[in-house]
């Protein structure tokens, strides 16, 4: 459904060099999910990202979101920046978006990095997404933020905080929830790219967040196993690597991309 998103999603561009397209997670955005590592990514790449409807400066849409439309918006942003080829980096929901872009435009994709992501959510994660969606739609945003904190932050980090610190963080999260959260989480529940995985031809790295309780490591390893020749790298983090392990996450991504560039 190409009409499931606005004519053009808001675009973020940083740096110079080979192209690198970023796809963000549900309830997030390019700045929210990649801001802590953006400077490092942009040091060697022309980094281009788009915010999904209802995130960043992209308005909401009444239509359900579709992976193909989001993938095409991402590639259209590369076109607008004059990038003929590019690497793709997808985080969480951005993983299926990046996978769909890689399959639809194989001749243009030089590498694929998938972090904390899935091909299809399992029953447990679908339930978590259902609760997430319902809490958002019913306006229980502080409770939602507390729920997401419990799900998305690793136990060691969460237990290092006091209850007062956790509540303060949840209040900040609740105030920053993008208006497109509901539609984006709905897409998490529907997304299924399992049939696309065997068709991926780009060198692929799956970054497994090993302490992730929202997208369990088992789902991430299943994804990697279904992609021809995919490599894996483990990151000791919950679902928010940009919060818990930004420097290590950046090192893993840039190290892989540099190796692929050197081999071309």
Residue ranges per structural domain of the chain: 2-121+192-263, 124-175
**3-state secondary structure labels for all residues of the chain:** CHHHCCCCCCEEEECCCCEEEEECCCCCCHHHHHHHHHHHHHCCCEEEEECCCCCCCCCCCCCCCCHHHHHHHHHHHHHHCCCCCEEEEEECCHHHHHHHHHHHCHHHEEEEEEECCCCCCCHHHHHHHHHHHHHHHCCCHHHHHHHHHHHHCCHHHHHCCCHHHHHHHHHHHHHCCCCCHHHHHHHHHHCCCHHHHHHCCCCEEEEEECCCCCCCHHHHHHHHHCCCCCEEEEECCCCCHHHHCHHHHHHHHHHHHHHHHHHC
Q: What would the pLDDT profile of 57-79 be if each residue is shown by its tens digit?
A: 999 999 999 999 999 999 999 99
pLDDT tens digits, 193-244: 999 999 999 999 999 999 999 999 999 999 999 999 999 999 999 999 999 9
Mean pLDDT, range 184-192, rounded to an integer: 97
- With a cut of 80, say whether residue 3 has pLDDT above it: no
Q: What is the pLDDT of residue 5?
A: 56
246-259 pLDDT tens trace: 999 999 999 999 99
Question: What confidence score (pLDDT) does residue 2 get?
Answer: 42
Task: Examine the pLDDT at 47 and tell me if it is beyond 80.
Answer: yes
CATH architecture of 2-121+192-263: 3-Layer(aba) Sandwich (3.40)
């Amino acid at each position: 459904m190409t009409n499931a998103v606005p004519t053009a999603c808001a675009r973020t561009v940083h740096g110079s060099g080979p192209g690198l397209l970023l796809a963000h997670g549900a309830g997030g955005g390019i700045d929210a999910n990649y801001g802590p590592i953006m400077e490092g990514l942009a040091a060697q790449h022309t980094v281009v990202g788009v915010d999904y409807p209802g995130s960043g400066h992209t308005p909401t849409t009444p239509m359900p979101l579709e992976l193909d439309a989001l993938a095409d918006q991402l590639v259209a942003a590369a076109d607008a920046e004059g990038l003929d080829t590019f690497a793709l980096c997808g985080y969480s929901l951005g993983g299926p978006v990046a996978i769909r872009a890689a399959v639809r435009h194989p001749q243009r994709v030089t590498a694929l990095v998938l972090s904390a992501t899935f091909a299809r959510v399992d029953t447990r994660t679908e339930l978590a997404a259902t609760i997430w969606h319902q809490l958002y739609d019913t306006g229980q945003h502080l409770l939602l933020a507390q729920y997401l904190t419990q799900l998305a932050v690793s136990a060691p980090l969460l237990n290092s905080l006091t209850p007062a610190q956790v509540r303060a963080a949840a209040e900040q999260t609740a105030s920053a929830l993008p208006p497109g959260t509901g539609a984006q989480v709905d897409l998490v529940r529907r997304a299924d790219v399992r049939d696309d995985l065997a068709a991926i031809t780009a060198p692929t790295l799956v970054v497994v967040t090993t302490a992730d309780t929202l997208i369990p490591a088992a789902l991430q390893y299943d994804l990697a196993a279904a992609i021809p020749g995919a490599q894996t790298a483990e990151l000791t983090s919950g679902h928010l690597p940009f919060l818990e392990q930004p420097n290590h996450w950046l090192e893993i991504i840039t190290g892989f991309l540099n190796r692929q560039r050197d081999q071309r």
